[in-house]
Amino acid sequence: MKILIASRNRGKIAELRELLGAYIDSSNLELVSLDDVGFEGEIEENGTTFEENALIKAKAAAAFSGLISVADDSGLEVKALGGEPGVYSARYAGEGHDDAANNEKLLRNLHGVRDREAAFVCCMACVFPENAPLQGEPIVVTGKCVGEILCCPRGEGGFGYDPLFWFDPFGKTFAEMDKTEKNSISHRGEAVKQLGIALDEKIRVQKELLWRKYGL
Ligand code: IMP
């Protein structure tokens, strides 16, 4: 089964292959990227929620390719900031600014704030176009990881807001964890797990239907 991951990020695709492989028989699974199917345009993420953005991207990829398509949208929600930066996490400090500028803005906005609870959220959508080997309504799942925003960065690894995101059960920031540790508790790890379980169940039901209908 071929699944299009609506991304150009090779690292993200390799990571998804590894993580999804734990839930779906990976000998039956081929993950391809937007580049692999010749999609050259940009998909505008103009939704107001992670779920809307993930569905916009997955639907556009499925319409272009005719393949089962998966897209994700993720970001950081800070309680004391009413859920900011949310869907604007990548461009919190403005278009063209980097992770360091986003982190600086976050620290400025939280200056003097005592309640520093925050959550990383990842929404994943999987869309089944007509004539694809699996059919039905889109699967939409959400993974969440709750932590706190520190007053200054810690750790060298990761990306984005990782150096500011403290995960108390491990006594580390995301930037101080290795990949396996982060995947085991992260918003993305949780969303992939839910998607893998839902897809595996869908494949099982489909096989049973074919078996009943045609004895296949
Ligand atoms: P994307 O939807 O996965 O591209 O994530 C959008 C933005 O959210 C990123 O550019 C980061 O600023 C932030 N973000 C999402 N996931 C993480 C994470 O695991 N660590 C740090 N920042 C993240």
Q: Give pLDDT tens digits for 86-106.
A: 999 999 999 999 999 999 999
Per-residue confidence (pLDDT) for residue 216, from 0 to 100: 61
Strands 117-127 and 68-78: antiparallel
Q: Which residues of 4-19 are buried (b: 16+ CB within 10 A; e: fewer)?
A: bbbbeeeeebebbeeb
The pTM of this model reads 0.94
- Residue 152 near residue 107 (C-beta atoms within 8 A): yes
Residue 62 φ/ψ, nearest 5 degrees: -70, -40
The answer to whether residue 35 is catalytic is: no
75 CA to centre of ligand 1 in angstroms = 5
Distances (CA, A) of 111 to 81, 105, 107, 120, 129: 11, 10, 6, 20, 47
Minimal-distance CA residue to ligand 1 atom 15: 75
9 CA to centre of ligand 1 in angstroms = 13
The finding on whether 120 has its CB within 6 A of some atom of ligand 1 is yes
Question: What's the chain's average pLDDT?
Answer: 93
Q: Give pLDDT tens digits for 40-60.
A: 988 999 999 999 999 999 999
74 CA to centre of ligand 1 in angstroms = 6
